[in-house]
Amino acid sequence: MRTAGCGYSARPMNGGRLAGKVALITGAANGLGRVAAELFAAEGAQVVIGDVIDASAAVDAIRVAGGVAASVPLDVSDDASVAAAVAHTVATFGGLHVLYNNAGISPADDDGPVNTSDATWDAVLDINVTGVARCCRHGIPAMLESGGGSIINVASFVAHVGAATPQIAYTSSKGAVLAMTREIATIYARQGIRVNALCPGPVLTPLLAKFLSDDDKRQRRLVHIPMGRFGEPIEIAKAALFLASDDSSFMTGQSLLIDGGITAAYTTPD
């Protein structure tokens, strides 16, 4: 299972799809965010990794591959931390063109509406929804000063179909991200900022692995995926690259589903 390292040689080139761009990616010290950070750097972006944990390994990997990267402490639940991270990005690389709001949580005690506590609900909504809003609050002025750019908000396929395994706070938070994305996209469409939501399906990460402890549990999830397999982190990163680059220049306020066909099909559990 590949959870970090996209396998790309991160040599910034003039022809890279993100050449000359500065990207701030939240929650990118590991997992899907790190894979995206490495891919963005391989496509020429100057990448800032913002996370609550140490991101030095991710930064080192990008630099060893020939890319340009820096890290900054970033807690999306703290408005001052978000403001400082954006300011650090601009001070380090001279602007901000891509804001990839990847940070999010999915606590084990997030259950149905009857069993999920207020504390869990509040924590999930604060990180997954208000955290995205905080990043946009401080990131958008910097992007306007930089001439515009692309905001990518990570939602989920469960925002479209609901989760078979109860996770009411997480599912609600991702639905809110979709609504927020459309609103911000509409506000800034004529000011050079595009805003889209990325909605991954089940992807092979440590977060998913904890639910796949035996073959029966694995198969019960695979039966819902028409393609018959889980996604790979690099497949999500490539979708994020599309949204970050000018390849999606006429796309804003949309939800890009990368889910192996889950939301396109009706399936019943075993």
Residue boundaries of the structural domains of the chain: 22-203+232-257
Report the residue count for the chain. Answer: 270
Measuring CA to CA, which residue among 131, 46, 58 is closest to residue 97?
46
For 10-21, write each residue's pLDDT tens digit: 444 456 999 999
- Residue 4: phi, psi to the nearest 5? -150, 145
State the pLDDT at residue 164. Answer: 77
State the pLDDT at residue 9. Answer: 46
State the pLDDT at residue 79. Answer: 98
Cα 265 off chain centre by: 24
State the pLDDT at residue 207. Answer: 63
Measuring CA to CA, which residue among 93, 65, 80, 82 is closest to residue 27?
82
Q: Which residues of the chain have pLDDT under 70?
A: 1-15, 206-218, 220, 266-270
CA torsion through residues 107, 268, 3, 99, sign = negative
DSSP tag of 12? -
Marked catalytic residue, from 8, 100, 170, 188:
170
211: left (phi over 0), alpha (psi -120 to 50) or beta: alpha
Task: At 193, list the tokens.
Answer: 């900022």
Q: Is 170 noted as a catalytic residue in this protein?
A: yes
State the pLDDT at residue 266. Answer: 65
Cβ contacts of residue 8 below 8 Å, gap of 6+?
38, 39, 42, 65
State the pLDDT at residue 163. Answer: 81
Domain 22-203+232-257 CATH (choose: 3.40.50.720, 3.30.70.2190, 1.10.150.170, 3.40.718.10): 3.40.50.720
For 114-127, write each residue's pLDDT tens digit: 999 999 999 999 99
